[in-house]
Amino acid sequence: MAKLKKVKKIKLLDLFCKAGGCSMGYFFAAQDLGYEIEIVGVDIEAQPNYPFTFIQGDAMVHLKKNWRKYTHIHASPPFQKYSNSTAPTRKNNPEKEYSDICVQVHAFLESIKRPSIIENVLQAPIRSDLVLNGDMFKLQVLRSRKFQLNNFFMMQPFAPKKLGTVKNGDYAMCVGNGQLKVKGGKRFKVPGNNILEVWSNAMAIWWMTTEELREAIPPAYTQYIGHYFLKT
């Protein structure tokens, strides 16, 4: 009798998970690989649309107490302190404070022997081991993000030459109210009356609200990463 092949089991922790864009990508990757996966998301705010097991609480507290329970760890710390989208607010209101725990997350994940990933905007103080954008996955959003890889390695995918512009409606600008401010004070609105539909289609995300989509990572990013990450 032929021996049954043992199915690899993954237990993944998604810190600062929001509505689960990254989690969904890892779920797709596990399906592609034939792995069993349990995903637990942790966020300080309630996430009623999160599609997997959810724990509301302090992500760093949960990580420090429970990291040994997980085989793989992903973290997307708050990015507003570094993002270009909040630059005008930071300039006009320098007293406004934004959460800044990237360094803390980096230090802890570097200290443990688990395959882990930190995702954030390009300006954040983490390594750029991997940089992804929507063009690489034929999405209608750019949303460039960088990833620090701990205890595993993978290659950067091919980056196609950008052919279109947000102004001309080739890409959705999934921030604010769906408009892009350009020089001279002119604003070019993304085509379409239904911003939720435009953004959902642009990022291939069907379960989030407009507010959640503003901060979401397209699942295609972590589905690509997961093909390497989950094998570790």
pLDDT digits (tens, 9 = 90+) for 42-87: 999 999 999 999 999 999 999 999 999 999 999 999 965 565 554 4
DSSP bridge partners of 189: 179
The kind and range of the H/E element at 150 are strand 145-150
Is 162 a residue whose pLDDT tops 80? no
Burial class (CB in 10 A: 0-12, 13-18, 19+), 6: exposed
Whole-model pTM: value is 0.87
Confidence (pLDDT) at 170: 80
**Bridge pairing between strands 72-75 and 187-189:** unpaired
More confident: 215 or 97? 215
What is the chain's mean pLDDT, rounded? Answer: 87
Quick one: pLDDT at residue 87? 45
Is residue 116 helix, strand or coil? strand
Lowest mean pLDDT among 53-57, 152-156, 189-193: 189-193
Do 38 and 32 form a contact (C-beta atoms < 8 A)? no
Q: Which ranges in 11-95 belong to alpha helices (H)?
A: 21-33, 59-66, 87-92
Q: Which helix (H) or strand (E) segment is 10 a member of?
A: strand 9-15
Domain locations in the chain?
9-156+216-229
The more confident residue out of 199 and 176 is 199
Among candidate residues 221, 197, 223, 220, the one with its CA nearest the CA of residue 209: 197
Q: Rounded to whole angstroms, how far apart are CA atoms 228 and 222?
A: 10
DSSP run (H or E) holding 131: strand 130-132
Average pLDDT score over residue span 172-197? 65
Out of 145-154, 164-173, 189-198, the most confident range is 145-154
pLDDT, residue 71, reads 98
* Residue 182 in this model has a pLDDT that exceeds 60: no
Tell me the angle at which helices 59-66 and 102-111 cross, rounded to the nearest 10 degrees.
Answer: 10
| Span 87-143, pLDDT tens digits | 445 445 556 555 678 889 999 999 998 999 999 999 998 999 999 999 999 999 999
Q: What value does the mean pLDDT take over residues 4-10?
A: 88
Q: Give the whole-angstrom CA distance, residue 75 versus residue 48.
A: 19
Q: Is 119 helix (H, G, I), strand (E, B) or coil?
A: strand
With bands split at pLDDT 50, 70 and 90, how would you rate the model's confidence at 30?
Answer: very high
pLDDT at 79: 64
What pLDDT, on the 0 to 100 scale, is given for residue 72? 99
Find out if CATH 3.40.50.150 is the number for domain 9-156+216-229: yes
Q: What pLDDT does residue 25 have?
A: 99
pLDDT surpassing 80 at residue 174 = yes
Q: Which of 33-37, 74-78, 144-148, 170-174 has the lowest mean pLDDT?
A: 170-174
- According to DSSP, the β-strands at 9-15 and 36-43 are parallel
